[in-house]
Structure 1
């Protein structure tokens, strides 16, 4: 299931959720396996990653900032690919996405995308579908202490 799907027919950037990492294991149950997919006429790539419930929350906040015309940086930690999105890149006069995987492959990709109006609303819809399909079902009461939500 797509969490992010940005495409103009020539270039695309997607984050696809594959499913729960370890269903039934409380400390790993809400961790989602995912992949970042980039496609253009010049380069194609795939990068395995994992998403926590906090990543979905920060993606929701990032969509609010994009809606306000602000650039965003999502998942900028040492263990995840850094995803930067500009709602308007002056050089290309389009939306632009930069993905940097400095933690493992040291690869960076920049993709300009000519997106239709309403692209942010579509990303919100995709986020809602992912949350519906894989709701957070575990609470961490204190560090290392987990219980199922009731």
Structure 2
């Protein structure tokens, strides 16, 4: 048995705290209040950043499949990137180690450093420091389609805190400590 995706490593968002979304807000091409996220029944946004005509969203959809094998610790996810020039959507899976790496990446972003997270798709966040406040530049690269897109995200202050809040919400939504999974530390609901 192989892992649900070519594997492994984290993401970002807007200043508002995650809130429940309406049905209209579920459409990735519909404009909606920054900082919104899906309800637990249809997914939770781990990353959502929107500015002008660009957005980046990584939505965790739920467990890959029920059961107690190592592959059941994976969470299905969907990454959507939209800009005035290009739009793309990728489906893949996240492991507990991916989420651990996202936590480390958030610490690096808070320290003012850029990050690389995941392998395929690769998510890179660089910081443009030419303004009084650093502006994230998000690049998503997909090896399978041999394509990438970069978007400059003028999201204002608090975007790293918002990403942390989203990360905590994903952990609270699907994480169960202990259990009988072959991963001794954790398994997902």
Tell me the TM-score normalised to structure 2 length: 0.67
Shift of 1:26: 2.4
1:42 — aligned with what?
85
1:18 matches 2:18: no
CA contact (8 A) 1:26 1:148 kept: no
Specify which of 72, 78, 83 is matched with residue 123 of structure 2.
83
Q: Is the 8 A contact 2:73 2:187 kept in 1?
A: no
CA contact (8 A) 1:89 1:96 kept: no
Residues in 2 aligned to 1:139 and 1:69: alpha-carbon distance in whole angstroms: 36
Offset, 1:89 = 5.6
The number of aligned residues is: 139
User: How does 1:131-150 map onto structure 2 within 5 Å?
Assistant: 131-136=171-176, 138-140=181-183
Give 1:117's aligned residue. 157
Runs of 4+ with >4 A deviation: none
Using the TM superposition, give the Cα deviation of residue 90 of structure 1 relative to its aligned residue in structure 2, in angstroms.
4.8
Partner in structure 2 of residue 96 of structure 1? 137
RMSD: 2.2
More strand per residue: 1
Partner SS state of residue 123, structure 2: strand
> Which structure 2 segments of 5+ residues have no match?
1-43
Say whether residues 1:70 and 2:108 are aligned partners: no
Question: 1:144: which partner in 2?
Answer: none
Q: Which residue of 2 aligns with 1:30?
A: 73
5+ residue gaps, structure 1, are 142-146
Question: Residues 148 and 128 from structure 1, CA distance in 2 versus in 1: closer, same or farther, beyond 3 angstroms?
Answer: closer
More off after superposition, 108-117 vs 128-137: 128-137
* Matched residue SS, 1:98: strand
Compared with structure 1, are the counterparts of its residues 115 and 61 closer, same or farther at alpha carbon in structure 2 (3 Å cutoff)? same
Structure 1: distance between partners of 2:142 and 2:100 = 21
Cα deviation, residue 94, structure 1: 2.7
